Homo-oligomer: A and B are copies of this chain.
Amino acid sequence: MKIVIDTMGCDNPEEIVRGALQSAKTFPDLRITVVGDEKIINNVISDEKGTGLLDTVFTDEVITNDESPTMAIKSKKNSSMVVSFRLLKEDPDMIGMVTAGSTGAALTGATLLLGRLPGVYRPTLLAQLPNFGGGVTCITDSGANMDCRPEWLYQFAVMGNAYMKAITGKKNPTVSLLSVGTEEHKGNELGKATYPLLKEGNFNFIGNMEARDALNGDYDVIVCDGFDGNVLIKSSEGAAKLIMKLLKNNIMSSFKAKLGYFLFMKKPLMNMKEQMNYNNYAGAAILGVNKCVIKSHGSSTAMSIFCSVEQLIKVHKEKVIDAIKAEFAEK
């Protein structure tokens, strides 16, 4: 079992290499190839006493967030991302890839270089968020496909269901459709046309849901297009950040509260921050292509890379890609 990790195009390439090393130490059956800058990779390996733990492929060409994804993937043949995709595609033992580089390029690369699974209309970017039930909730498209058709959303539901079965171990994850109310007739044209398709699906569809309940723990898979998924995720993230700031301001505004914080409450509040820290969770999964790619965020730490690797192993062990293939081959 092998995986490839693209270490470049992100804020802290060193952290990516560190995450790769931690993964290699934790999963002895796994062989990891890191792709990226020779000096950075070798420095981290030597600092962390990791000689021999990783396979390495060196290149100094990088795809940045500012360039056109399609142009970049087509023209930068030696970029760390394109090289990673090539290794993934060509080596039958390679089960997946992690990258913290450009999301657009990762999506384009996955589609152009790995290829769509037969019958899949559009690959999607499934994000997982920690929910307040102590588990994770997956948003079927967090920004890949802006304008969707009902059949695409149906396929996202199928992929989300297979993925969440593997990740959470739940036999029958709940699948619901993002709307403005729970009643069947609520929503926009896209939602109304998608609802009957989901109702017929071979999964546990529980109807429409509202954004305010997204993270309460009742919803395993939330079906939506990439625009709405993005709005849902970023609104939640923005509100969470601002409340933590408001909390800090309120604590720091009075001596008494400051004292209380340092004497009594630092630990529970730090706990809370940790529960919400997305570095403790894997990145978003690009699904619908041959093999799985995890797109970790640009400021990933070693911990988030480790979680993403762990996720790839689950996806492989639970045969998520085969399950998706089978679903669409049947139809």
Contacts and interface: CB of A to CB of B under 8 A. Distances in A.
Taken together, the copies of this chain in the complex come to 2
Nearest to A179: B227
A234 B263 contact: no
Contacts of A257: 264-265, 267-268
A260 B265 contact: yes
A326 B257 CA distance: 52
A19 to B, nearest CB: 25
Nearest to A250: B268
A245 interface: yes
Contact of A261 (B187, B231, B234, B264): B264
A71 interface: no
A235 B212 contact: yes
A272 B260 contact: no
A183 to B, nearest CB: 10
Nearest to A210: B234
B267 A227 contact: no
Interface stretch (A77-85, A153-161, A213-221): A213-221
B238 A253 contact: no
Contacts of A253: 268
Contacts of A254: 267-268
A147 B260 contact: no
B215 A132 contact: no
A188 interface: yes
Interface of A: 132, 143, 146-147, 178, 180, 187-189, 191, 210-216, 225-228, 230-247, 250-251, 253-254, 256-257, 259-261, 263-265, 267-269, 271-272, 275-276
14 contacts: A132-B246, A146-B187, A178-B231, A180-B227, A180-B230, A191-B227, A211-B238, A212-B237, A231-B231, A237-B239, A239-B239, A240-B243, A243-B243, A257-B268
